Chains A and B, each alone.
Chain A
């Protein structure tokens, strides 16, 4: 849990949020996390380490010493309320309050998170040291940027994010004819893998490489055509090994969803294919390690992007050397989900008991829970009923094969009695959850629903998305069986109600449900572990870069739908049908977005492989019609010849 350190400096209160374990450096040096510029402060004066609920301070042989509440210390525990004295400064800290910033698990934990985190803290506090005053204007003279001597590249195309959204865009650009030398990608994944963050989320939410993910055969982020899909590739691979099992995939694609269970690809296959495509298009050559700090329009119809290379990628460079600019004409921003969220009552609990590790979010690493359960048995409370809850339940089922003393309480606000209704159809309900193959109805990707949503007004859009969206899981035979078996054999029990309180008693978490209507007695659910499976945060404000852009250029936002699921309850940037952000247009210069950044806009399914491909296709198509350098119109023959190159594994051009 992050701590917020505050101190007085030249008459005003300075604050710095420190997230992670540390050690965080306090001193005069600009390389530290807390910079105290005074002659009585040594360059590296002291270090702070956060371990669970305890904060420790260690003096680093400073000239003038370190004191806590007047006591001289070399190493000591620093409690909330105590004053840490360094030179003329008095520092205090508090656990970062969830009131304005919900307890969250950051999704960009670069290996040494100090630098990005520090950068974020600066943006939050509105005191950006870099790029500083030069970014106070809405339009920056290009001459001023060049005069800094910090411009590392001037290119046509820049992808901000470095994840799957960026990858799809760059893949389209390359297939449309743009040379790798005109493209740059800014990201923080240590190994440049486009599936870095996605892979982490999968691992945390208990999807190993051999497990199948909730995606389609033709949702192929490594192939802009969607052919061959994963099912055909499985068939070919199995046939080459002399096995016939691959025909099952093809029959699934043929019969789904009416005759057979819907086909879904294996996570490992998706990653391997992405690696191959990354190699083919020269992804690594376009990559630059960097955390983007801000974007501004320039006076020559382009953009200047300020970024900082995280410490671990340039350990010998000074901080100033790691702060650079890229000047670019066309940008795509795909920064993804900023964080995973805890339900409000769980936030409160985490705040009151920061030391208790028994309450976890399904999107953060929590393998320890299953290891402990397999050894000792115990009771688990699952909150939420989406796809992640299904997978967690499957993982618990596997754990039960090692230890039968595992019991599962499944808590939701209310039972699902009937499915959502749209047009002439109703969504299927089974095992107390609405079921559909993917997280939206299929026609929302490229069929009648896509067309309808695009043509709709903002009001109609939020209404439609409320009906199509919501919490669902996949209609998988194994998951249905696990649910039915669990209820029948008594190790799985469902509960409904609003949570009144959560307390920690005798090493167990007690969740008290409110009494309702005629049944006024409250009910206590006692569990060894609580797993929150309710979702990811889609709030733009949680990404400092987007918050800054929205503020600086008064960008319009999409309407908020009231469906109540985290994915759809918060709105993204308003975009055109081709995902361009109108407010950022700068003459010829343009900015497109992809992924959850565009949530609740003209396209519902932004946060899916196929949705990312669609966003990429629309924006690169538009670049083609603008006659942007190197971008073809992608007619049938160009498309076919590029597809042949893909098949042969040859570089796009």
Chain B
């Protein structure tokens, strides 16, 4: 990949909207309805879904969204640093290996920031356990990585030439 700064931001937002949010919605729903409640956890998935949806615990439902939002904001800021790192590469490119590595750096940054209490204003009812955050991020990361490798260029035919920016080329 050879992203520009604007391209990084566009790509991050589009992945947030079309991959991060839907996955987080599903995961938050699962978590708030079945995940932490032993009554329902045993019977998940299919037998219960058909007959009676368990009630959603709103405070739990919100948490993954907040975590994703924190990831997004940290990512948008780090993008500025990444573009500086790129300047040290002759090809000014961003190898997939870097994309992989720094995605996980972002995850650990946000998780430990939360764990350290820096994000308590976002999580007044308690912090997210590591295993929960890890499962959540693994899903989001996997699909986002596939998005960067394949999905985006299938839907956005100009994306790969615009350094990750979405949209048409300007006419004149």
Q: Does B163 make an interface contact (CB < 8 A)?
A: yes
* Chain B 58-98 interface mask (CB, 8 Å, partner A; 1/0): 00000000000000000000000001001111111101111
Compute how far the CA of A625 lies from the CA of B172 in the bound complex, rounded to whole angstroms: 11
Q: Does A451 make an interface contact (CB < 8 A)?
A: yes
Asked if A424 contacts B2 (CB within 8 A), the reply is: no
Nearest chain B CB to A264's CB is how many angstroms away? 15
Residues of B within 8 A of A426 (CB): 90
Contact pick for A446, options B150, B155, B156, B162, CB 8 Å: B162
Compute how far the CA of A447 lies from the CA of B86 in the bound complex, rounded to whole angstroms: 11
Q: Does B53 make an interface contact (CB < 8 A)?
A: no
Nearest chain B CB to A259's CB is how many angstroms away? 5
Give the nearest-CB partner of B156 in chain A.
Answer: A636
Asked if B95 contacts A448 (CB within 8 A), the reply is: no
Asked if A218 contacts B160 (CB within 8 A), the reply is: yes
Residues of A within 8 A of B156 (CB): 636, 639
Residues of B within 8 A of A428 (CB): 90
Q: Does B112 make an interface contact (CB < 8 A)?
A: no
Q: Does B48 make an interface contact (CB < 8 A)?
A: no
Contact pick for B153, options A227, A253, A577, CB 8 Å: A227
The size class of the interface chain A forms with chain B is 35 or more
Contact pick for A437, options B91, B100, B168, B170, CB 8 Å: B91
Instruction: State whether A443 and B92 are in contact (beta carbons under 8 Å apart), knowing that A226-B160, A617-B158, A622-B171 are contacts in the complex.
Output: yes
Contact pick for B88, options A425, A450, A576, CB 8 Å: A425
Asked if B90 contacts A451 (CB within 8 A), the reply is: no
Residues of B within 8 A of A218 (CB): 153, 160
* Chain A 232-263 interface mask (CB, 8 Å, partner B; 1/0): 00000000000000000000011111110000
Give the nearest-CB partner of B168 in chain A.
Answer: A621
Nearest chain A CB to B40's CB is how many angstroms away? 37
* Chain A 449-463 interface mask (CB, 8 Å, partner B; 1/0): 111000000000000
Asked if A436 contacts B3 (CB within 8 A), the reply is: no
Which of B3, B92, B155, B163 has the most chain A CB within a 10 Å cutoff?
B92
Nearest chain A CB to B145's CB is how many angstroms away? 10
Nearest chain B CB to A468's CB is how many angstroms away? 9
* Chain A 72-106 interface mask (CB, 8 Å, partner B; 1/0): 00000000000000000000000000000000000
Compute how far the CA of A643 lies from the CA of B156 in the bound complex, rounded to whole angstroms: 11
Asked if A427 contacts B90 (CB within 8 A), the reply is: yes
Residues of A within 8 A of B155 (CB): 636-637, 639-640
Instruction: State whether A442 and B2 are in contact (beta carbons under 8 Å apart), knowing that A225-B154, A226-B153 are contacts in the complex.
Output: yes
Asked if B150 contacts A625 (CB within 8 A), the reply is: no
Asked if B168 contacts A257 (CB within 8 A), the reply is: no
Of residues 615 through 646 on chain A, the ones whose CB sits less than 8 Å from some CB of chain B are: 617-618, 621-622, 625, 633-634, 636-637, 639-640, 643
Residues of B within 8 A of A427 (CB): 90
Asked if B92 contacts A621 (CB within 8 A), the reply is: no
* Chain B 1-40 interface mask (CB, 8 Å, partner A; 1/0): 0111001000000000000000000000000000000000
Asked if A423 contacts B163 (CB within 8 A), the reply is: no
Compute how far the CA of A571 lies from the CA of B105 in the bound complex, rounded to whole angstroms: 46
Q: Does A177 make an interface contact (CB < 8 A)?
A: no
Asked if A225 contacts B153 (CB within 8 A), the reply is: yes
Compute how far the CA of A490 lies from the CA of B111 in the bound complex, rounded to whole angstroms: 59
Asked if B88 contacts A225 (CB within 8 A), the reply is: no
Residues of B within 8 A of A446 (CB): 2, 160-163
* Chain A 248-282 interface mask (CB, 8 Å, partner B; 1/0): 00000111111100000000000000000000000
Compute how far the CA of A643 lies from the CA of B155 in the bound complex, rounded to whole angstroms: 9
Asked if A255 contacts B95 (CB within 8 A), the reply is: yes
Residues of B within 8 A of A621 (CB): 158, 168-169
Residues of B within 8 A of A228 (CB): 150
Interface size on B, residues (CB 8 A): 35
Asked if B90 contacts A425 (CB within 8 A), the reply is: yes
Asked if B92 contacts A447 (CB within 8 A), the reply is: yes
Residues of A within 8 A of B7 (CB): 447
Asked if B154 contacts A643 (CB within 8 A), the reply is: yes
Asked if A449 contacts B92 (CB within 8 A), the reply is: yes
Instruction: State whether A422 and B4 are in contact (beta carbons under 8 Å apart), knowing that A576-B172, A614-B161, A617-B157 are contacts in the complex.
Output: no
Compute how far the CA of A425 lies from the CA of B96 in the bound complex, rounded to whole angstroms: 20
Asked if A254 contacts B169 (CB within 8 A), the reply is: no
Compute how far the CA of A428 lies from the CA of B88 in the bound complex, rounded to whole angstroms: 12
Of residues 195 through 252 on chain A, the ones whose CB sits less than 8 Å from some CB of chain B are: 218, 224-228
Give the nearest-CB partner of A255 in chain B.
Answer: B97
Asked if A441 contacts B160 (CB within 8 A), the reply is: no
Nearest chain A CB to B137's CB is how many angstroms away? 20
Compute how far the CA of A39 lies from the CA of B130 in the bound complex, rounded to whole angstroms: 100
Compute how far the CA of A340 lies from the CA of B153 in the bound complex, rounded to whole angstroms: 36
Compute how far the CA of A385 lies from the CA of B76 in the bound complex, rounded to whole angstroms: 43
Residues of A within 8 A of B157 (CB): 224-225, 617, 634, 639
Asked if A258 contacts B95 (CB within 8 A), the reply is: yes
Instruction: State whether A448 and B91 are in contact (beta carbons under 8 Å apart), knowing that A622-B171, A640-B155 are contacts in the complex.
Output: no
Compute how far the CA of A637 lies from the CA of B156 in the bound complex, rounded to whole angstroms: 9
Asked if B87 contacts A425 (CB within 8 A), the reply is: yes
Nearest chain A CB to B166's CB is how many angstroms away? 9
Contact pick for B161, options A436, A450, A625, CB 8 Å: A450
Residues of B within 8 A of A224 (CB): 157
Residues of B within 8 A of A437 (CB): 91
Q: Does A578 make an interface contact (CB < 8 A)?
A: yes
Give the nearest-CB partner of B88 in chain A.
Answer: A424
Asked if B92 contacts A441 (CB within 8 A), the reply is: yes
Give the nearest-CB partner of B165 in chain A.
Answer: A451
Asked if A617 contacts B100 (CB within 8 A), the reply is: no
Contact pick for B92, options A227, A256, A419, A448, CB 8 Å: A448
Compute how far the CA of A228 lies from the CA of B97 in the bound complex, rounded to whole angstroms: 19
Instruction: State whether A259 and B154 are in contact (beta carbons under 8 Å apart), knowing that A218-B160, A423-B87, A614-B161 are contacts in the complex.
Output: no
Which of B95, B150, B158, B168 has the most chain A CB within a 10 Å cutoff?
B95
Residues of B within 8 A of A637 (CB): 155
Which of B154, B156, B169, B171 has the most chain A CB within a 10 Å cutoff?
B154
Residues of B within 8 A of A227 (CB): 149-150, 153-154
Compute how far the CA of A446 lies from the CA of B4 in the bound complex, rounded to whole angstroms: 9
Asked if A425 contacts B89 (CB within 8 A), the reply is: yes
Which of B3, B93, B162 has the most chain A CB within a 10 Å cutoff?
B93
Residues of A within 8 A of B161 (CB): 445-446, 450, 614, 617
Residues of A within 8 A of B160 (CB): 218, 226, 446
Give the nearest-CB partner of B2 in chain A.
Answer: A447
Residues of A within 8 A of B95 (CB): 254-259
Asked if B169 contacts A442 (CB within 8 A), the reply is: no
Residues of B within 8 A of A256 (CB): 95
What are 5 contact pairs spanning A and B, CB under 8 A?
A224-B157, A447-B163, A578-B169, A621-B168, A634-B157
Additional pairs, 12, CB under 8 Å, beyond known A423-B92, A447-B7, A578-B169: A218-B160, A227-B153, A256-B95, A257-B95, A419-B90, A423-B87, A426-B90, A446-B2, A447-B4, A448-B163, A622-B171, A639-B157
A-B interface, 8 closest residue pairs, ranked by CB to CB distance from nearest: A447-B2, A443-B92, A442-B91, A446-B161, A636-B155, A425-B90, A443-B2, A442-B93
